[in-house]
Amino acid sequence: MRIHYDDSTAFLGDWGPFQRTVFALLCLSMIPNGFTGLSMVFMGDTPAHRCLIPAALNITDEWRNASIPLEEDEENRDSRFSKCSRHRMDVVKNYSDRGLLPWVDVNVSNIPQEGCLDGWEYDTGTYISTIVSEWDLVCSDNWRAPLTTSLFFCGVLTGSVISGQMSDRFGRKKVLFVTMGIQTVFTFIQVFSPSWLIFCLLFFIVGMGQISNYVSGFVLGMEIFSPSIRDIYSTLGVCLFFSIGYMMLPLAAYFLRDWRMLLLVFTIPGIFCMLLWWFIPESPRWLLSQGRVVEAEAILRKAAQMNGVNAPDVIFPLNQVKHTSASNICFCVGYCALSLNTSSLHGNIYLNCFLSAAVEVPALIMAWLMLRRWPRRLCLSSTLSLGGLVLLFIQLIPQHMNYVAFSLVMLGKFGLSAAFSILYPATAELYPTVLRNTALGACSMASRVGSILAPYFIYLGGYYRSLPYILIGSVNILSGLLSILLPESLGSPLPETISHMQTVAGFHPKCVRTHKSQILRAYKSFRFIKPCVHQNLCKIPCVIPSQRKIVRT
């Protein structure tokens, strides 16, 4: 006999002191993820730069000013100083010593050029230092900056694989706090990185912890809260507080222009979040799936005491509990690319980043309202398609209409942020407790492929301004169309075991075959669809276009 967890724990109510406390604490634990995951917007930005002319080189001011050649900027249709070359210093020194004047006595454009043999000088108006200016990740080494971000998301991918299985094996709470500790400790060590290579290695480990604690915390809340609270938790809860962390990023970066100091400040919230261990419980639903009934009931009795209600003498009858061990079994490119690309947008980088984060708040409100009423497939399809379509229009905007292009980017970010917040609960509702964290981690791993590619989508913008938006828009429209094929979980309880997954509409193979054959016959004969013979398994609404009548089986 199957235990209906939500029915067995209904005595707690939906929104008592216990639920409010856990809700608030889990949401607070998400704040560090917001600025850690997108810190490269500022740490990895490339300041304006040009070749260094050594101060010890004894040349006149006229020749020092003429030592950097001018290049045509095809995008802005004007001239700018070269970032990666200079006139040969031995020739310039010779002309200076002879008292000749540039452009008066010498045609400077005919002087041979050379690379930046003495390094670069960087504009310090926006930043004191970034990892780009500290380790000269420019010109022939400019591929290293996007690679740094990609390596972080490689760590995110690895963490998705490992932490999901660990969480289903050892519990949501343990993995949440262990990975939170990894993120905090290795971010602190990263402050003292002596080289770019060490920085990347540590950043990879930080990425492993960052996604792992986010997914574990998300699953923990989904399993603790009742169905009426899950939608608001997954949108206006964890996602909103992730966005709050994201909004804190440009505020901190504005006052801390040195990347090491900025990174050091990022470790402080993580230290405080570690103290929440004594206040956040383990998931009773997970404990029950492991056969640890006494521990699950102890947490629920303490919750009942906090809520001021009486718990039944027996919450989960032992004869109904069956121990089931956990088995092991490209949409993010858009969200990550738009978030990381704020430094390339027209206007102030700090304001752009803040607006990119702030636009997520109304997007999350919209996502919550959609999840309350709309099927998950329709929610995903509409938000992904909205985000993709508006990005395709950017290429049609004239060069001088920067604010129109910026508005379209923000509208695209609005749609993709809503889709991002819908994706996690839609995925979590499809998989059973014994596999939920593993499955969510595996799906997150697949999306990280897009995150890894995202920095290089931005990199392509150096060749053609609208190319990143064309690629991002196309990928997300395709994702929106494919999401229609997903099973529908609206109104279904969270499945506990693998066999219970078949109660989710669209999963059971007999249901799928029955409906396919009925729809085909209905189109041929123009009659209504009969109820599915698998009435205890199938919940798919069937629509006959000619009659426009819905028959629910």
Start-to-end Cα distance in the chain: 24
For residue 455 the two structure tokens come to 């920095």
- Confidence at 197, pLDDT banded by 50, 70, 90: very high
**Rounded alpha-carbon distances, angstroms, from residue 510 to 26, 429, 481, 503, 531:** 40, 21, 25, 12, 13
What does the DSSP assignment read for 463-495? T-TTHHHHHHHHHHHHHHHHGGGSPB-TTPPPP
- Confidence at 499, pLDDT banded by 50, 70, 90: low
What's the pLDDT tens digit per position in 210-263?
888 888 888 898 888 887 888 888 888 888 898 898 899 999 999 999 999 999
What is the pLDDT at residue 318?
A: 61
**514 contacts 538 by C-beta, under 8 angstroms:** yes
For residue 176 the two structure tokens come to 């949440």
Backbone angles phi, psi at 432, to 5 degrees: -75, 165
In whole angstroms, give the CA distance from residue 411 to residue 391.
8
User: What domains can be seen in the chain, in order of their start residue?
Assistant: 1-48+129-220+259-316 (1.20.1250.20), 49-122 (no CATH)
> Is the pLDDT at 274 greater than 60, yes or no?
yes
What is the pLDDT at residue 190?
A: 94
What's the pLDDT tens digit per position in 424-442?
787 777 777 766 667 666 6
The count of residues in the chain is 553
What's the pLDDT tens digit per position in 135-182?
999 988 888 888 898 899 888 888 887 887 788 888 889 999 999 999
**328: alpha, beta or left? (left if phi > 0; alpha if psi -120 to 50):** beta
- Confidence at 386, pLDDT banded by 50, 70, 90: confident
Q: Are strands 70-73 and 78-81 parallel, antiparallel or unpaired?
A: antiparallel
Top pLDDT among 298 and 551 is at 298
**44 contacts 58 by C-beta, under 8 angstroms:** no
- Confidence at 524, pLDDT banded by 50, 70, 90: very low
Weakest mean pLDDT among 41-50, 74-83, 503-512: 503-512
Q: At what angle do helices 172-190 and 259-274 cross, to 10 degrees?
A: 150
> Is the pLDDT at 475 greater than 90, yes or no?
no
Sign of CA dihedral 260, 266, 272, 274: negative
In whole angstroms, give the CA distance from residue 210 to residue 427.
19
